[in-house]
Structure 1
Amino acid sequence: MTTPEPIAFRPAVAADALCLGVLSTQVFLDTYAPNGIGPSLAREVLEQHSVGVYEAALADPGLTILVAECAGHLVGLSQVIAGATHALVTAPEASELRRLYVHERFTGRGVGRELLRHAEKAAAARGADTLWLTAWEGNARALQFYPRCGYEDVGGTIYSFGGDDFPNRVFAKRVRHVASA
């Protein structure tokens, strides 16, 4: 039996933009395009997950992007937006976990949980009391994962693109205490 390569976690750097864009696109399509790709979904991918989007994100001081890397290849990412609020999140200082994406072949190995732990620490270190996120109601894996990690379902919201509405759940967790953990 072969021992799996270790997975390292680190802040993303500008040179990661190309791989971040492709990894983000791959995970998004694996999750949200079970029936194939239509024009509105294709536009959403290009607008939200392109290399240019990640180049801009990496230059934004309000964003923290962390990556999981195995044998020199990106296998996961998290993206935290400092100071982001949502009507269902009542914390005085909150940050949003905009993305937590793990390459399908690396799920079940603790990559998502470790990226989430690092994201929580990053949010708390920047002054957030709470880290919140939205998860599509059709993503059963996410709807089970976040409560197991201590997140509370605080209500529903809608994500819209291409003239279609997609019901999402909003999850939140107090993270102030994890900054030094």
Structure 2
Amino acid sequence: MPAIILRNATPDDALCIGVLGMQVFLDTYATQGIRNSIANEVLEAFAPSTIARLMAEPGTSLIVAESHNHLVGFAQVKLNASHAMIEVANVAELQRLYIQERFTGLGIGYQLLQAAERCAARAGACMLWATVWVGNERALGFYPRRGYEALGSPTYTFQGETHGNRLFGKTLSVTAP
């Protein structure tokens, strides 16, 4: 396994996070090719200016995985992110856990997930939750193996299209700041 360093993202990472996000998004969601809705979503969601704004948002953390000074993955955590299907207060959302394809299966996703859990717990969140597209078989198997419980089947709408998802959550042990 390559040497991996996890660290908090800095503003200088916005470009690489954006491009990495585009690559992973397209590998995951553009399984039948590119159409306008996918192209528009990826360009809007991962523009470097969008990533820079996310990093500046209070309560949003981006953690990057780096190998030999190259970004290979990242996790995006949003604190105080409630969900209609979760009745517990003070929860955090794992908004993205993206690993470049050639680095999957090496434990990097698990390392980033653990870092995201620690980030949420340090901020006082009692649960970390994530939604997974029903077509993402790898992620649908990943979260239950890491102690996440299936909590429901919400939908997600982008660019006027609605897609089925699965909601997963894990209770965290809140740690002192």
Runs of 5+ consecutive residues of structure 1 not aligned to the other structure: none
1:88 aligns with 2:90: no
RMSD: 1.1
For residues 97-118 of structure 1, what are the alpha-carbon distances to aligned partners after superposition, in whole Å with 9 as ceiling and x for unaligned? 0000000000010000000000
TM-score normalised by the chain length of structure 2: 0.96
Corresponding residue of 2:38: 41
Q: Runs of at least 4 residues of structure 1 off by over 3 A?
A: none
Distance, in Å, in 2 between the alignment partners of 1:87 and 1:34 is 29
1:162 to partner: Cα distance:
2.5
For residue 128 of structure 1, the aligned residue among 115, 125, 128 is 125
Deviations 1:138-172 (A, max 9, x none): 00000000000000010011111222210000000
Q: 1:134 & 1:166 partners in 2: Cα distance?
A: 11
Q: State the one-letter code of the partner of 2:170.
A: K
Task: Report the TM-score when normalising by structure 1.
Answer: 0.94
Distance 1:87 1:19 in 2: 33
Which aligned pairs between 1:1-181 and structure 2 lie closer than 5 A?
4-177=1-174, 179=175
CA contact (8 A) 2:148 2:168 kept: yes
Comparing 93-102 with 43-52, which one deviates more in the overlay? 43-52
The CA deviation at 1:176 is 2.5
One-letter code of the match for 2:66?
E
Which sections of structure 2, spanning at least 5 residues, go unmatched?
A: none
Aligned residues: 176
